[in-house]
Every structure is written in C-alpha cells, then in structure tokens.
Amino acid sequence: MQHTPVCDDCVVTFLCSREPDEAVIIDLDELRAVRMLSEAGLVPRLRHSAR
C-alpha cells in the first residue's frame, strides 16, 4: 500500500519521511495522549502492535 492514499496519515510514513538526522522522541505522556486520541477515534488507530 506504499505511495497510496492509505499511507498518507500513517505514523510510519511520517517517521520515515523525516530527515536522517532528525530525531523523533515521544515521551510517556505523549504516548498516553496518542493512545487516548486513538481510542476516542480522533486520530487513525495504529495499524501495528507488539506481538
């Protein structure tokens, strides 16, 4: 599905489109906020999960 509209709002696409030296740091509070937004349906749910 790469390079299709389904990838436009994907967190992986966002992370992979960053500059090589540009760090992405998500702290615990931000992770909780993203989970809450996702559970409320306000942001797309994460499509990947830990095994």
- Residue 45 tokens, joined: 């749910």
Q: What is the pLDDT of residue 9?
A: 74
Residue 4: inside a domain: no
Residue 35 belongs to domain spanning: 25-51
pTM for the whole thing?
0.47
Q: What is the pLDDT of residues 11-32, one digit of tens each?
A: 777 777 788 788 877 888 988 8
Kindly state whether residue 33 falls inside one of the protein's structural domains. yes
Residue 14 lies in a domain: no
In a domain, 48, yes or no: yes
Local structure of residue 31 (DSSP, 8 states): H
How many structural domains are present in the chain?
1
Whether 31 is covered by a domain: the verdict is yes
In a domain, 32, yes or no: yes
pLDDT of residue 27: 84
Lookup: tokens for 11: 């967190």
Angle 29-10-7 (CA atoms, 0-180°, nearest 5)? Answer: 175
In this structure, is residue 2 part of a structural domain?
no
Torsion, CA 32, CA 34, CA 38, CA 41, rounded to 10: 110
